[in-house]
Chain A
Amino acid sequence: MDHWESYRTKMIKTAKVRVTRLSLDPYLLKYFNKRKTYFAHDALQQCTEGDIVLLKALPEPRSKHVKHELAEIVYKVGRVVDPLTGKRVAGAEFVERLKEPSESLQEKTLSDKLRELDISASASGNQTLT
């Protein structure tokens, strides 16, 4: 199984995917990304260009070039979902603002205050508006 970025091809139900693996330069002793392209079978044609995709090796080659199939789309381009929260994300921010816990606390205190006012109003018999 490999992790890749998919391209556009004229072939139907096939995705052209670029894999990057780290390979050690023998002199510098530093790791660099080394690219390799693979063709993957995408039965439902779900992939678009720019998706990050998980591939799985087929037990036997499907054709001369296609030896892998699409296992799942990990990050769909433009619709990345944060795995920790499950919400949509754009860059380093969430698409919708998350509810902060302090806001909900304030609501509670406000409702408590209103209830207190009602009690005092009913007890004293005066109607006060705030």
Chain B
Amino acid sequence: MPMKGRFPIRRTLQYLQKGDIIFKNRVKIMTVNYNTNGDLSEGARKFVFFNIPQIQYQNPRVQIMMFKNMTPSPFLKFYLDDGEQVLVDVEGKDHKQISQHVKKILGKSEDTLQAEAEVKMQASNPANFGPKKYCLRECICEVEGQVPCPGTKPLPKEMTGKYRTKMAAQQE
């Protein structure tokens, strides 16, 4: 049973997670002005259709607004934290060119992303057990090859606490 819609792949988690534009912390608002007809806005329309969901997924704190048919030429406008505004003209450009350009000017570079990932890894020790939010695993029963959780499968009699206490009491 195929998914409904024109390009339903846009609505998959894998596609959304593949978005590579992660904005710098200074970018707060992104505005796209484009037209619904006309060849010059074609790239902008494709950008909105394909790339905006990816950008919003990777940057949930950035407000993205779309404006249609307000000006004759399409453009992107970014509002940064300190009041600075960045205007990007996208007339006649292809959506791939637009996303590459945006990544170059306002996206975090590969180095920054790797450094952040390393810091995150150092902060969290994979050997710890605890809530899913902070650690990889909550209990040793989750690991392959270890004793399974007694909640799902009862333990063998020799391992239960009451059998052990009974044997210890008998020996005394």
Q: Do A and B bind each other?
A: yes
> Which residues of A are interface residues toward B (Cβ below 8 A)?
1-3, 19-22, 24, 28-31, 52, 54, 71, 75, 80, 82-84, 89, 91-94
Provide the bound-state CA to CA distance between A30 and B10, in Å: 8
Please pick, from A20, A29, A83, A93, the residue contacting B11 in the complex, using a CB distance under 8 A.
A29
Q: Are the CB atoms of A84 and B73 closer together than 8 Å?
A: yes
Q: Is B12 interfacial (CB 8 A cutoff)?
A: yes
Q: A3-B31, A3-B79 are in contact. Are A82 and B16 (CB under 8 A)?
A: no
Tell me the smallest distance from the CB of B103 to a CB of chain A, in Å: 19
A91–B75 CA distance with the chains assembled, in angstroms: 14
27 examples of A-B residue contacts, CB within 8 angstroms: A1-B28, A2-B29, A3-B63, A20-B65, A21-B63, A22-B52, A22-B56, A24-B57, A29-B13, A29-B16, A30-B53, A31-B52, A31-B53, A54-B79, A71-B83, A75-B67, A82-B72, A82-B73, A83-B75, A83-B77, A84-B73, A84-B75, A84-B87, A84-B89, A89-B72, A92-B71, A93-B72
| Chain B 43-70 residues near chain A, CB threshold 8 A | 52-53, 56-57, 63-65, 67, 69-70
Known: A3-B79, A22-B64, A29-B11. Contact between A80 and B56, CB under 8 A? no
A94 touches B72 (CB 8 A): yes
| Residues of the B chain whose Cβ atoms lie less than 8 Å from the Cβ of A22 | 52, 56, 64
Report Cα–Cα, A129/B11, bound state, in Å. 73
- Chain A residues near B53 (CB, 8 Å)? 30-31
On chain B, the number of residues with a Cβ less than 8 Å from chain A's Cβ atoms is: 30
Looking at A1, A28, A54, the one whose CB has the most chain B CB atoms below 10 A away is A1
Residues of chain B at the chain A interface (Cβ within 8 Å): 10-13, 16, 28-29, 31, 35, 38, 52-53, 56-57, 63-65, 67, 69-73, 75, 77, 79, 81, 83, 87, 89
A-B contacts besides A54-B29, A92-B71, 7 pairs, CB < 8 Å: A1-B83, A2-B29, A3-B63, A21-B63, A75-B70, A83-B87, A92-B38
